Amino acid sequence: MGRERLLSLLLAITVLLTGCRFSLPLSRSATPTPDFVLPVEASPTPPAPATLSVTATLLPGAVLTAPPVPTPPSSSAEQVLILAGTPEGPLTLDPALVRDVESAFVVQQLFRGLVRFDRALVPVPELAERIEIGPDGRSYTVRLRADARFHDGDPITAADVKYSLERACDPALADGDGRALPAWGFLRDLVGAQARMLGRRSDVPGIEVVDERTLRLHLVEPSPTFLLRLALPVASVVKRDAVERGPDWWRQPVGSGPFRLVRWTDEEIVLGRHPQYRPAPAYLREVRIRIGPAALSPLNQYERGQLDVAAVPVWAVDRLTAPESPYRDQLIAQPLLGGTYVFFNPGVPPLDDLVVRRALIQAFPRAKVAGVTLQGKVPLAQGLIPEGMPGGPWEATVLPYDPGEARRVLTGRSLRVEVASAGSDVAIMLGQVWRRELGIEVEVLQYDWPDYLTELDARRLPIFVFSWVADYPDPEAVIDALFAEESPNRPIDYRNAAVQELLAAARRATDPQERHALLLAAQQQILDDVVVLPLTFDVEYLLVAPRVRDLPVTPLGILGLERVWIAPERAAR
């Protein structure tokens, strides 16, 4: 799902203060394996990412069953978690329309779908109790939990799932443009889904209701990532009569997840435990997410004891890890399946000239940004696909820094370029460097957030910096999402038939080695076309109060909160 976001104070935050972040990252219900969360030592270097793997449970013929019911912890502490969101707050709580990370984070607490991610970020049944993948890889037979309930107590049926998935493919949700829907990127391999999103039919025949608790999903062709994408917000189950109350139904939603919406004000979103959530109710009684002015200065709020979790900018890491710091043991560094990039839109002159794009990239010292400006707290990106992404290694050849060559090829040319920003420090840095090194005219265009998103959706931004965190643990969640011509998340007007053929072949490939070769080739061709400059692979630095237990900080960001609990203060020390 994904679109840009401002740096949020909690939800999958990077240390690079770009001022924005793509992603939908976010179907979130996973918890980390122990080596995903790394305690920070004094003056840390960026931690090496853990290597994930998608197992054979996703292959044709596999059967997935729900994991055991967890044993609730024993704690006398008040089970209330206090977090900080962004000043803007969620853009929507409609699962079918979620594109920003903060909205996705809240949505995944309120709604759930057929599957979630387990501790290894492998999909396991959620509202389903059993999933059988057909021998040809084109069909998925799903048996729902008998005790799955909406927040109003009504049972969740196969018809509810069919309604929810078909609704997510309804072009009316995007003013008739089905290609703009998150479902276009995540559900289009269901038989009939593309036709539904293009307005050619009113249903999705690939979603078959067998009986009240059983449905069968039919794909156009086998996909190694279909179950991963079913864990995203777009595949969440919504209640039809609640949705049909009106376009703003999501402000008072009847959800299917572990928490219900209690209150949403200008300064706070309050979520309460859904007692009928199964396999077991959430341990937390309440989650409070500060937004608006109350979301400002999270680090200061944390140090005053007003927040349980806070994002940490790179400039504060050394102070917090100093020997005398009381927060040394509370800071963690989490490598993310995401990166920060500079995009050069070939659809906007003079960036339609490859020579100009090459010169701009050669004149920018990306290694200095990572090593000096960001104090070595994040690794220099060695390609587009982040370290730790399954199926790697993914290193590629990036155009080297060579300002002398950049000046040579631009000699005698009068050049003016524009850099778009929604508050990005790196955008300002780009302008300074290019003026100094190349002697060209650079204007940094400052946008407010809604206008920035509008321009981004129209692919009109010329040069811009943003971060992207994968929505699911697979390289296609980065390279396909950002560069496939049919992707609703594609941020620039980039077209290369050879790249599109490679990406299409990778979507169909089930052999890991073949898929790896295809994606590597696509990545290198994109870099050779110099439409993007990888800056860093992202690392999330967080302060987590000792009383907070089992917070699911993962390479995809912070996920579902249903198994988080609060320990008594004495035990937390």
Give pLDDT tens digits for 394-441. Answer: 999 999 999 999 999 999 999 999 999 888 788 999 999 999 999 999
Q: Are residues 81 and 188 both part of a single domain?
A: yes
What pLDDT score was predicted for residue 571? 56
The pLDDT of 213-217, averaged and rounded, is 99
What pLDDT score was predicted for residue 39? 42
Chain segment 130-142, per-residue pLDDT in tens: 999 999 999 999 9
Residue 304 lies in a domain: no
Closest to 165 in 3D by CA, of 137, 138, 133, 142: 142
Q: Are residues 366 and 512 both part of a single domain?
A: yes
Q: How far apart are the first and last CA of the chain?
A: 39
Residue 484 lies in a domain: yes
Q: Are residues 252 and 346 both part of a single domain?
A: no
Tokens standing for residue 299: 């680090």
How far apart CA 113 and CA 560 sit, in angstroms, is: 13
- Per DSSP, the three-state class of 56 is helix
Q: Is the pTM of this model over 0.85?
A: yes
- Per DSSP, the three-state class of 52 is coil
Q: Are residues 210 and 344 both part of a single domain?
A: no
Tokens standing for residue 357: 């794009």
Residue 301 lies in a domain: no
Residue 54 lies in a domain: no
Q: What is the CATH number of the domain that holds 400?
A: 3.10.105.10
Q: Are residues 68 and 208 both part of a single domain?
A: yes
Q: Taking 60 as the threshold, does the pLDDT of residue 315 lie above it?
A: yes
Q: Are residues 183 and 84 both part of a single domain?
A: yes
What pLDDT score was predicted for residue 36? 30
Where among 245, 262, 279 does a domain terminate? 262
Q: Specify the pairing of strand 80-84 against strand 286-290.
A: parallel
Higher pLDDT, 244 or 44: 244
Q: Taking 80 as the threshold, does the pLDDT of residue 476 lie above it?
A: yes
- Angle of helix 512-528 relative to helix 497-508, nearest 10 degrees, comes to 160
Q: Are residues 258 and 342 both part of a single domain?
A: no
- Angle of helix 425-438 relative to helix 354-362, nearest 10 degrees, comes to 100
Residue 215 lies in a domain: yes
Q: What share of the chain in percent tops pLDDT 90?
A: 75
Residue 297 lies in a domain: no
Q: Are residues 97 and 234 both part of a single domain?
A: yes
* Long-range own/partner contacts, residues 262-268 (CB < 8 A, 24 or more apart): 262/286, 266/291, 266/292, 267/291, 267/292, 267/293, 267/294, 268/294
Q: Are residues 254 and 382 both part of a single domain?
A: no
Domain count for the chain, please give it.
2
Residue 1 lies in a domain: no
How far, in Å, are 34, 50, 87, 337, 477 from residue 473 at the CA level? 17, 12, 29, 7, 7
Where among 262, 296, 322 does a domain terminate? 262
Q: Are residues 157 and 67 both part of a single domain?
A: yes
Q: What is the CATH number of the domain that holds 89?
A: 3.90.76.10
Q: Taking 70 as the threshold, does the pLDDT of residue 382 lie above it?
A: yes
Q: Are residues 256 and 347 both part of a single domain?
A: no
What pLDDT score was predicted for residue 31? 28
Range of the domain at 125: 62-262
What pLDDT score was predicted for residue 449? 78
Residue 45 lies in a domain: no
Q: Are residues 84 and 193 both part of a single domain?
A: yes
Where among 244, 262, 280 does a domain terminate? 262
